[in-house]
Amino acid sequence: MGGFITKALRKVREEGLTPRDIVSYGCMAVHRNASCLWGTVCMRLKAALFGVRLGGGCECCGTIILQRWPGSHIELGRGVGIISSSRRCTSATIHAPTRLRTFAGSAAILIGDGVTMNGTAITARSRTIRIGKGTMIGPNCVITDSDFHAQWPPETRLTTPAFERDRDVTIGDNVWLGMRCIVLKGVTIGDGAIVAAGSVVTRDVPPATLVAGTPARVVRQLP
């Protein structure tokens, strides 16, 4: 313990930190660790109660919303990292907690090893949403398999769910979704692709490409 304190004091002197610097960093460190500890405990408790499968080493900073319809599947692989706290998020304010929700027994949300999410909303109404290993999802992204209402005729939109129009969503390995992206039903995003911030993905994205815009279009091939 004495050695740790000595090293910490030496680092303070070497970097010229002021007392305010120390207090500021100390508060950030305490909040980060406390938020991750409490969030992870709550996530694991909810998962056990609601039948959500968690791989080893999953962590959650802040609150997560888990809503699994009877008979459906929500699975998180090993080492999945979830951030649902604006204090912990690096690049932006989190608009709402990360939410994983299914609406029918046929629905599934399958998240691979090492995926990171930040205030992400993933809703599988009746189909499968699959996210490959190592994928990074920036703050406030939305991924869904459904329109949630019939498109036509307009007078039926509130009364006709149109489950037959739902489509699977597949996001490959090591994909990067920038902040505030929207990935709509029926889309496949290839391995290694990057989706620029604020994009709306309405059609398939080839592997190892950068796409951007509304709707998202290929900007260039990645090296």
pLDDT score for 59: 95
pLDDT score for 98: 96
Contact 146, 165 (CB under 8 A): yes
Render pLDDT for 14-60 as a digit per residue (tens, 0 to 9): 777 777 776 776 666 666 666 788 899 999 999 999 999 999 999 99
Record the pTM.
0.88
Q: What is the mean pLDDT of the chain?
A: 91
pLDDT score for 87: 76
Q: d(Cα 109, Cα 72) in Å, to the nearest integer?
A: 9
Render pLDDT for 118-142 as a digit per residue (tens, 0 to 9): 999 999 999 999 999 999 999 999 9
Which CATH number is associated with domain 2-221?
Answer: 2.160.10.10
Q: What is the mean pLDDT of residues 150-176?
A: 93
- Please determine, for residue 158, whether its predicted confidence score (pLDDT) is greater than 80: yes
C-alpha to C-alpha distances, 214 to 39, 105, 143, nearest whole angstrom: 34, 32, 15
**Domain regions of the chain by residue span:** 2-221
Q: What is the mean pLDDT of residues 158-179?
A: 95
